[in-house]
Chains A and B, each alone.
Chain A
């Protein structure tokens, strides 16, 4: 077991009366890559902000693992929070001082250059995101928390972003925790999948396990009744049923064709299933 680098213990966060995060406990290991997925309003961003220290939980605490200090945690969100009136140079100098970064020059992302004299508010969303990422990586963070930024980037910047993160994962062994709606081209990056719904975790599995345990059955055929169906879609053209947790022996026992699916579709199935459960309730 790798050592825990960051842990959330019984976190509860309320907005008004509603609990956005409800008694959530989870531990993240050194160098581990995790994706937190879920429906809108599930509490993912709130949880991530607790981990980042931006939100103070009403109950519970966030514990930093041995050797982890606050300046080794990097947090970037789609709110793109930086002092807008500053130039890049000023932003870098400030960040460098606050986090006691030793390198003198702002670390550059290959293929992505910005003039140091430009003001932050003049940058596009994508440019700001990458700028913030390069500031964070200069901290040589042990934990990187990424909240929903990837979809806001154009394909070029998205590629640059992911490449940069992957590089950090390899070089610094940074633990990366990403909150994402859809996985698309980030699907192969996480090793661990957490799915949140209504402020709680409904799934916490390793990706390979998940890929093994979730299968899709397309087409009209009947399903033996004892096979757990997580979620079913049914349109004019197709009918898909998602099975979880899948057992290999069912392949032998029935004529049904169980398809393996990618992580993106798995996550969609879980979120869909959660919605269905809510409606039923």
Chain B
């Protein structure tokens, strides 16, 4: 039976593969889709077509017996019902697995070029669809009704999962009322952020769907016979109902445990307290003990203002600040309309600049961190003038200052045609004449100069008071990636040198002579970063993937000095990462977090 079935399934699958090979040709020839390599189209067609094939494979498990009047004969074969089910199902699973493996190979070989979907994620969907249609096939005799019914049931898994997440959120003590339409989505976001796509797919395709439907099929198929399906259906649905309850409970527990598992953002304060944020709130660890804070809404994004104040946004669209010195949480800004959320924010010097979305045209808001005021009362907003105001995807604040008593802010925009610009508090805007459209890696405002690093060169513009003038172009420039999360000084910093990467060397940019000079070689350019606590200190971090180490060195007076080496750090392992902060280094390694404080980089333990 197995061999026969296997041969049969292979034959049918041949048609599927032929169709998958032919369809891209048709699509390309008729120009239904833009011109692209055949393989790119084929990969998409194959991956998504496999969804339908998975459905078909499951639904067709009894099709041959039914269409050829052989069901009675099949039931007299000398094995149990489960034995029969196994012999009919196994070939289909094998073929599905084989096709999936093919898509995996194709993806590994060429997928990145063609932005194909990760087959690992699709695997869950295939299994979910397959088990649903397989499970329903003894009950529904009409093939078309079976396919449609299976698709419908499969779709139900999506809202089921959302309600599960809402239940988990409620159980965690989050406020859900008033969260609005975005609120229902935020739980999905948390889960994806904290537990990952794979975990969530596992929950709602496998635990909520594949398991109960498989259980219902396996437990009730013993009673399957040639009578009209109604009799068997009753037993099946009873088992299904029970299984769904059990697995829903399991899914609930799993999701509940997954959501708050890790402290995502860990910081070290100057007085060596450890501040940890996770989705449900924060806690401060000190020699005196642990202070916990629970936030009513899940935390979404945290930035350290000065190592003492931590500004964070949440899914309730609020902006708040945790003051580690006095162990207090204050609301800075509360969204009036739940649909307008905190989108980007940059704390600096006791203030925070933030953008609220959707705001088209862009408006920036400004608030004070320190002053305890009632939320929202100290917020100033400055709109962009009309010709600059079209909304942007990725605005970045890279400098602020005061000229003649007037504040200004410097922005650049990723993936945009808009050049970097300066926005004055009176609403006036000056563009920085960056002529070409090359993507900006980072931008810096120092010594009244704007230094912009693109992939190919470094351009330096001088602030002339009301405009910027290009004063130097250095081809093959220095790359000095400065990340948002670092508590760097945005407010008119002054320095003499900047250190950064120049190809495969460490180099310095002399801010007087505007010259780049190499000072030391790098073992590898990839995996090395220069982090600066601008302008005081510069650190070099190097990752060695083979030796699995992380080296931290200081760059000072044109010399690189190794400070320490951390072992057993594998950047490729999921969850391993490190974070260089002003007060120390935070290492996430194998699921545990270690904190090392400057200047000696001794571990802090509580």
Q: State A16–B234 Cα separation when bound (angstroms).
A: 11
Question: Contact: A54 with B76, CB < 8 Å?
Answer: yes
Stretch at the interface among A79-87, A153-161, A199-207: A79-87
- Given A79-B69, A81-B69, A83-B64, verify A56-B76 contact (CB < 8 Å): no
- Which of B69, B73, B77: most chain A Cβ within 10 A? B73
Question: Contact: B224 with A79, CB < 8 Å?
Answer: no
Question: Contact: B71 with A98, CB < 8 Å?
Answer: no
Does A99 belong to the interface (CB within 8 Å)? yes
Stretch at the interface among B113-121, B225-233, B326-334, B563-571: B225-233
Per a CB cutoff under 8 Å, which of A69, A73, A84 touches B70?
A: A84
Does B592 belong to the interface (CB within 8 Å)? no
Does B605 belong to the interface (CB within 8 Å)? no
Residues of A within 8 A of B483 (CB): none
Question: Contact: A94 with B75, CB < 8 Å?
Answer: no
When C-beta atoms are compared, the residue in chain A nearest to B72 turns out to be: A81
Does A237 belong to the interface (CB within 8 Å)? no
Does A107 belong to the interface (CB within 8 Å)? no
Per a CB cutoff under 8 Å, which of A53, A82, A85 touches B75?
A: A53
Does A265 belong to the interface (CB within 8 Å)? no
Question: Contact: A55 with B78, CB < 8 Å?
Answer: no
Residues of A within 8 A of B222 (CB): 56
Per a CB cutoff under 8 Å, which of A56, A81, A83, A84 touches B224?
A: A56
- Given A69-B78, A94-B4, A98-B77, verify A54-B224 contact (CB < 8 Å): no
Does A246 belong to the interface (CB within 8 Å)? no
Does B394 belong to the interface (CB within 8 Å)? no
Per a CB cutoff under 8 Å, which of B1, B68, B78, B225 touches A54?
A: B225
Nearest CB of B to A81, in Å:
4
Nearest CB of B to A54, in Å:
5
- Which of A16, A52, A70, A98: most chain B Cβ within 10 A? A98
Nearest CB of A to B73, in Å:
4
Does A44 belong to the interface (CB within 8 Å)? no
Per a CB cutoff under 8 Å, which of B3, B77, B227 touches A15?
A: B227
- Contact residues on A (Cβ < 8 Å of other chain), bracket: 20 to 34
Per a CB cutoff under 8 Å, which of B71, B74, B78, B230 touches A99?
A: B78
Question: Contact: B73 with A82, CB < 8 Å?
Answer: yes
Q: State A14–B77 Cα separation when bound (angstroms).
A: 23
Does B48 belong to the interface (CB within 8 Å)? no
A55-79 contacts to B, CB under 8 A, are 55-56, 58, 69-71, 73, 75, 77, 79
Question: Contact: B226 with A98, CB < 8 Å?
Answer: no
Contact pattern, A 248-266, Cβ under 8 Å of B = 1, otherwise 0: 0000000000000000000
When C-beta atoms are compared, the residue in chain B nearest to A16 turns out to be: B230
Does A49 belong to the interface (CB within 8 Å)? yes
Contact pattern, B 1-14, Cβ under 8 Å of A = 1, otherwise 0: 10110000000000
Question: Contact: B78 with A83, CB < 8 Å?
Answer: no
Nearest CB of A to B471, in Å:
83
Per a CB cutoff under 8 Å, which of A15, A53, A69, A81 touches B71?
A: A81
Residues of A within 8 A of B69 (CB): 79-82, 84
Question: Contact: A83 with B76, CB < 8 Å?
Answer: no
Per a CB cutoff under 8 Å, which of B77, B225, B230 touches A55?
A: B225
Residues of A within 8 A of B227 (CB): 15, 55
Nearest CB of A to B265, in Å:
59
Q: State A207–B225 Cα separation when bound (angstroms).
A: 33
Question: Contact: B68 with A83, CB < 8 Å?
Answer: yes
B382-417 contacts to A, CB under 8 A, are none
Question: Contact: A56 with B225, CB < 8 Å?
Answer: yes
Does B197 belong to the interface (CB within 8 Å)? no
Residues of A within 8 A of B226 (CB): 49, 54-55
Nearest CB of B to A167, in Å:
22
Question: Contact: B231 with A15, CB < 8 Å?
Answer: yes
Residues of A within 8 A of B76 (CB): 52-54, 73, 75
Does B485 belong to the interface (CB within 8 Å)? no
- Which of A15, A16, A55, A58: most chain B Cβ within 10 A? A55
Residues of A within 8 A of B228 (CB): 15
Question: Contact: A14 with B231, CB < 8 Å?
Answer: yes
Does B79 belong to the interface (CB within 8 Å)? yes
- Given A55-B226, A70-B78, verify A84-B68 contact (CB < 8 Å): yes
Q: State A83–B224 Cα separation when bound (angstroms).
A: 19
Residues of A within 8 A of B3 (CB): 97
Q: State A94–B1 Cα separation when bound (angstroms).
A: 7
Contact pattern, A 102-123, Cβ under 8 Å of B = 1, otherwise 0: 0000000000000000000000
Question: Contact: B72 with A77, CB < 8 Å?
Answer: yes
Does B292 belong to the interface (CB within 8 Å)? no
Question: Contact: A56 with B223, CB < 8 Å?
Answer: yes
B40-79 contacts to A, CB under 8 A, are 64, 68-79
Per a CB cutoff under 8 Å, which of B1, B68, B230 touches A98?
A: B1
- Given A69-B78, A70-B79, A98-B77, verify A54-B72 contact (CB < 8 Å): yes
Question: Contact: B72 with A83, CB < 8 Å?
Answer: no
- Given A71-B78, A99-B78, verify A83-B73 contact (CB < 8 Å): yes
- Given A16-B230, A54-B226, A56-B224, verify A85-B72 contact (CB < 8 Å): no
Residues of B within 8 A of A54 (CB): 72, 75-76, 225-226
Q: State A161–B70 Cα separation when bound (angstroms).
A: 22
Question: Contact: B70 with A83, CB < 8 Å?
Answer: yes
Q: State A273–B228 Cα separation when bound (angstroms).
A: 32
Nearest CB of A to B88, in Å:
13
Q: State A82–B73 Cα separation when bound (angstroms).
A: 6
Q: State A81–B227 Cα separation when bound (angstroms).
A: 15
Q: State A15–B228 Cα separation when bound (angstroms).
A: 8
- Which of B69, B222, B228, B230: most chain A Cβ within 10 A? B69
When C-beta atoms are compared, the residue in chain B nearest to A147 turns out to be: B72
Q: State A99–B76 Cα separation when bound (angstroms).
A: 10
Contact pattern, A 144-155, Cβ under 8 Å of B = 1, otherwise 0: 000000000000
Residues of A within 8 A of B224 (CB): 56
When C-beta atoms are compared, the residue in chain B nearest to A55 turns out to be: B225
Nearest CB of A to B30, in Å:
36
Residues of B within 8 A of A15 (CB): 227-228, 231
Q: State A69–B78 Cα separation when bound (angstroms).
A: 8
Residues of A within 8 A of B75 (CB): 53-54
When C-beta atoms are compared, the residue in chain B nearest to A13 turns out to be: B227
When C-beta atoms are compared, the residue in chain B nearest to A139 turns out to be: B78
Question: Contact: A82 with B225, CB < 8 Å?
Answer: no
Q: State A16–B68 Cα separation when bound (angstroms).
A: 26
Residues of B within 8 A of A82 (CB): 69-70, 73
Contact pattern, A 5-26, Cβ under 8 Å of B = 1, otherwise 0: 0000000001110000000000
Q: State A54–B226 Cα separation when bound (angstroms).
A: 7
B165-187 contacts to A, CB under 8 A, are none
Nearest CB of B to A46, in Å:
9
Extra A-B contacts (8), CB below 8 Å, given A54-B75, A94-B1: A15-B231, A16-B231, A54-B72, A54-B225, A70-B78, A75-B72, A81-B72, A81-B73
Sort A-B residue pairs by CB-CB distance and give the 9 closest, nearest first: A71-B78, A81-B72, A81-B73, A70-B78, A84-B68, A55-B225, A83-B70, A54-B75, A56-B225
Q: List 6 A-B contacts (CB under 8 A).
A: A54-B72, A70-B79, A83-B70, A97-B3, A98-B77, A99-B78
Residue ranges of B at the interface with A (Cβ–Cβ < 8 Å):
1, 3-4, 64, 68-79, 81, 222-228, 230-231
